[in-house]
Structure formats: structure tokens, C-alpha cells
Amino acid sequence: MSTASNDNVRVRFAPSPTGALHIGGARTALYNWLMARGSGGTFVLRIEDTDRERSTPENVEQILDALRWLELDWDEGPYSQFERRERHKEAIERLIEAGVAYRDPATAEDVRAWKAEHGNRGYRGTPKDVEGAAVRLRVPDDGETVVEDVIRGPVSFPNAAQDDFVIARGDGTPLYNLAVAVDDAEMGITDVVRGDEHLSNTPKQVLVLRALGADVPRYAHLPLLHGPDGKKLSKRHGAASVQELRDAGYLPEAVRNYLALLGWGTEDDTTLMSTEELIERFRIERVGRSSAIFDERKLRWMNGRFMRELPLDEYTDAVASHIAAEGIEVGRDALKAACAIAQDKAQTLAEVWPLIRFLFEPPVDDPKAREKFLKPEHLENLRGVRAVLAETEPFDAPTLEERLTAFVEERGLKPKAVYQPLRVAITGTTVSPGIFDSVAALGRERTLERVDAALD
Ligand code: GLU
């Protein structure tokens, strides 16, 4: 399934809108999108909303919202699977007319009894044209249905073990495997890329497609995602949905890079890649078979790298919209100046505001920091620092560094015994951007005010 420039490629992302978009779903969407963008093909979005209770407009919106945030744009859709139900019913009628599907009033209990009698083989019913009977697809007795999977190779499912499965309920509602197969066929899907948990459904979909005389797409079932402890990925591993990643202050481009590497990698194990590079290099056949590990610490690291590389204006925009979501609004120029000194220090957007808030608000009150760094011996140093600050001219970071370093050396002090008290005095906390940058950004007047307040 080489995707390199083949504009016939048609892939789809087909989420069931049951709530937030989880990380596994986001990776599936990304892989499909990369295949489409890398080949000049088409990325179709199909909402599998046949479960009417869970498919609320809010749940659908959450999925679209997450895809938009990830900047995975679709070329067609969103189609609603539910709204296509007449097409599914037509297909069922066609299958019945062709004699490859039949009505069967058998209950679950009848099926069990049949199996008990037939040595647990796949159930084969007897057509009975009664009102309210479910519709089953006739499965061949012999041979096997082989799913040619790009990642796993051929996977065989013996037909004798497969029940004649239900494709429509007694009330005429089409069932999931029928709907997916019909939609994939009618939407001209060439490549189905989805999570491993769907592999057991695939032979049924292949049987429906063959019965319809439709082309069978190529399949790629992606390995499961686990947490660093080897357990199936869940909330306890940290952020589990795209929404949570956004709120935690990750950049979409870093998330795309990280998700791309969950199961896939380049020959030379490149780690940091722009989205253009991902599009260029992604190959579905290089996805591995073993489960991939989602480790939020690695994502944080990667995100920090992307943050450092951002042009300052973009960085400032990203921080502005992140803090705006928390109801914080500050002037653009001041924010940009603050971002300039924090850019190297934060790994997520959420980490930026705590680093720079001292430039916009009075120092925070952290009794632990005060106790530790504003002891009498520190206050002594701080008094000396105050005198230096009062005279430093120009009041910029290089000059401050020069004067304060000289002060530390002359007095034979440990730098930490001078800079931490100063930091606590101006920010209230023990973490901030570089101390000289921080003091310069705060300016002489405010710095001296805060030092005086601390000395009190
Ligand atoms: N609707 C399914 C899900 O959300 C995906 C089905 C498919 O990709 O074929 O898991």
C-alpha cells in the first residue's frame, strides 16, 4: 500500500461520537490524514452515529473540534452514517434478492440450540420469510476469509466457524458491519486504517463487500496504545484525550509529531519532524506490530523543543490564547517581552504563565519559599543587592549580570544565597526565567519596591 503520489487513495476516519476524541482515535485520524496528504488522495470524515443515544450533537462537535485543533482537515464529509440508513437498507434488499442474505426468525436461544447440535460450528439458519425476522448474511461453509493486512500480513478466519451473521435487525435496522462495508464501498475507500480492536470485525465486512460484488479495500490495523506501565492506555496515564492535551498546553504540531511516532518510525529513527516532513516520510507499511507506548513525559519534552523553535510572535499568540482560555488578558507588547525571557524555560503553554505572572501581578504568596529563602542571613545579602540594583545603569540584563556577579564574588557568597532570595522577593516563588532577565523585565522601580517589601 505505498501511498507515495497515488491520488486514487481514498481513506477515511470513521469515529463513533461517544465523547472526547481519545489519543488512539487521534492517531488513527492522523495516519489516515498523512496517507491522504502524502499521496494527493482524499481524506473522508464519516461519523458513525448509528447509536442514537450516544451520538449527540455535542459529542459530534467534540470530535470535529478535536480534529480542527489538531489541524487535520478533511476533504469530504462529515458524512453521517445514520443518515445513510436508506442506502444500507437498499443494500440489504439487494443481498436478499441475490440469495446471499436471508430472513431468519431464529432467536438467540434457537441459535445456541443449533450450535449445541452441530458441534459448535458457525450457525447456519433456514430462510423463513416471516414479518419481523432478522436478516443474516450467508457465510460459505468452506474455505477461509483472509484479511490481507498491511501491518500484520494475511490473517485467516475459517468460514466454518463464522456464524451467518445478522446484518439487519427484525425491525429493519441495519447493523454495524453491514453499514461500514456499504459505506466503505460506496465512498470508494481504498485503504481502511483503524485500530486493532476492529480486526475481528473485518472478515465480516469483507464477506459483506464480496456479497455486494464490491472491491475490498486494503486494511491496516494499528497496534494498541499502552501507557509506560504496559497497561492499556487510560486516564491514569495522564492526558487521555485531545481536549486534555490542548488544555495542558501542548502545541498541535508537537502532538502530531508525537502521535505519528506511536507505532511508526523512519529508517533512521528521526524524532523531531515538522508536519511537512511527516507527510513526506510517513509510510503505513512501516508501522510496527507491537503495541506502542504513549508516554506523556516524552510528549512534554518534544513539545518543549517545538516551543523553543517557534518564532516569538507565534509563541506569544499561542500563550495569549492559552491564557485567554483561563480568563487572563494582558497587553500584547508586555506579553511578548515576557515571552521572550520565558521561551526557553517552558515545555508546555500551561507552564508559561506561572513563570511570567510576576510581571503582571504582585508576587504570589508562597510561605514555603519565604521560609526557605528569606531567612535573616539572606536578608543581609538582599540589602546588599538592593544597593547594587539602585545604582545599576543601564538597567538591562547584561549590566545586571555583570554587577550582581561582581557583588557575589566580592562578598564570597554562594550565587544561590543571593539569587534565590532576590527571586522570591520579586516573584514570590522559587521558579522564574533567568534572574537577570527577570529583574530587567520587571524594571528598577518595581524591583526595588518588592525587595523593600521583602526586607520589611
Ligand atoms: N466507528 C469505529 C470507531 O469509532 C471505527 C470503525 C472503522 O474505522 O471502521 O471505533
Block residue for cell numbers 458441534: 119
The span from the CA of 29 to the CA of 180, in Å, is 17
| Block mean pLDDT (10 aa), the chain, length 456 | 71 95 96 98 97 93 97 98 98 97 96 95 95 96 97 97 97 97 98 96 98 97 92 80 96 98 95 98 96 95 98 98 96 97 96 98 95 93 97 98 97 96 97 97 98 95
Question: What pLDDT was estimated at residue 375?
Answer: 93
Question: What pLDDT was estimated at residue 236?
Answer: 78
- Which residue from 112, 111, 106, 99 is spatially nearest to 132, judged by alpha carbons? 106
Decide if 186 contacts 91 (C-beta within 8 A).
Answer: no
Q: Which residues of 190-205 are buried (b: 16+ CB within 10 A; e: fewer)?
A: bbbbbbbebbeebbbb
Decide if 46 contacts 13 (C-beta within 8 A).
Answer: yes
The span from the CA of 437 to the CA of 337, in Å, is 10
Question: What pLDDT was estimated at residue 5?
Answer: 65
The span from the CA of 177 to the CA of 209, in Å, is 10
Question: What pLDDT was estimated at residue 120?
Answer: 87
Q: Is 19 helix (H, G, I), strand (E, B) or coil?
A: coil
Ligand 1 pocket check: which of 198, 199, 208 to mutate, most ligand atoms within 8 Å of Cβ?
Answer: 198
Question: What pLDDT was estimated at residue 231?
Answer: 86
Q: Which residues contact 40 (CB under 8 A, 6 or more apart)?
A: 5, 6, 7, 9
Q: What is the pTM of this model?
A: 0.93
* Residue 198, ligand 1, Cβ within 6 A: yes
Please give the positions annotated as active site: 235
Decide if 54 contacts 20 (C-beta within 8 A).
Answer: no
- CA 147 to centroid of ligand 1, rounded, Å: 17
Question: What pLDDT was estimated at residue 425?
Answer: 98
Ligand 1: nearest atom to the Cα of 16: 4
Ligand 1 pocket check: which of 16, 46, 204 to mutate, most ligand atoms within 8 Å of Cβ?
Answer: 16
Q: How far is CA 431 from CA 305, 357, 398, 408, in A?
A: 20, 11, 20, 20
Pairing of strands 166-168, 101-104: unpaired
CA atoms in the 13 A half-sphere facing the CB of 18: 7
